[in-house]
Amino acid sequence: MRTIEITTTQNVVIQVKLATLMDRIVGFILDLIIMTVSYLLIVAGISEILHLSNLWEDWVITIITIAFMFYSLLFEVLLRGQTPAKLMMGVKVVKTDGGQPDFIDYFRRWAIRWIDIWASFGAVGMISISTSDKGQRLGDKISDTIVVKKKQTSGYQLKDILSITSTESYQPVYPEVVSASETNMLTVKRLLNRHQKYPNIGTYTDLIKQTSKAFETNLELKRKERNHVAFLKQLLKDYVILTR
């Protein structure tokens, strides 16, 4: 599984896992099944309930068909980067800086589906995703988006970055961390990543302890967490929010 590092608008570098090509193919098939079944049920239900004439039934089918053409666009806007299949697969669309796409970004992705998927039977999209460093199809490149796994393994997760909307309501646990340098905090982030990836390597465990104690001493903090990893994660979260 490919991972990339992205720099957020808060100038924090985080590591994210990209959705694989297979994730996206399976997701597309699931959405297609959901869309087809829903379409048939809706058309049959309306015809049965309203007892429409053949002429009106043709009009209803045409309207519903046009509506279903906007399936992916509608759901990605409503579900903030996810369709029903993406929700089941645990993947979502985000900007390449980790931010939330807006309507025009989703629209661009949807519009280029006709080239990526329908007109080329998926060949253009699959080739683009396979050859792109960020796993982007043409629609992603035009809208500056990527498709990522929602569940990340980094010390500071993507969902935490995306959930930061305002500093006014946030109460930092360690406000003193603002005096730390960005370089030091990026080192903490990388150390947490390595420790989580290789938890059985004693060197990383020792470095976590040493780094934790160094912050506690240098910033004159009264720790609330006994666990060194939890302490460093909280420091990182406070730093990101307070310095954005």
pLDDT confidence bin for 57, thresholds 50/70/90? low
More confident residue, 2 or 32: 32
Residue 168: pLDDT band (50, 70, 90) is: low
CA-wise closest residue to 219 among 182, 178, 167: 178
pLDDT-based confidence at residue 85 (cuts at 50, 70, 90): very high
> What mean pLDDT, rounded, does the chain reach?
84
- Distance CA(176)–CA(162), nearest Å, equals 23
How many CA within 13 A on the CB side of residue 147? 29
Q: Identify which of 97, 98, 244 has the alpha carbon closest to the alpha carbon of residue 178.
A: 244
Contacts of 244 (CB under 8 A, 6+ apart): 9, 10, 164, 167
Average pLDDT over residues 37-46: 83
Tell me the range of 144-148, 200-204, 221-225 where mean pLDDT is highest. 144-148
Q: Is the dihedral of CA 107, 108, 113, 119 positive or negative?
A: positive
Residue type, 44: A
Please state the pTM of the whole predicted model: 0.64
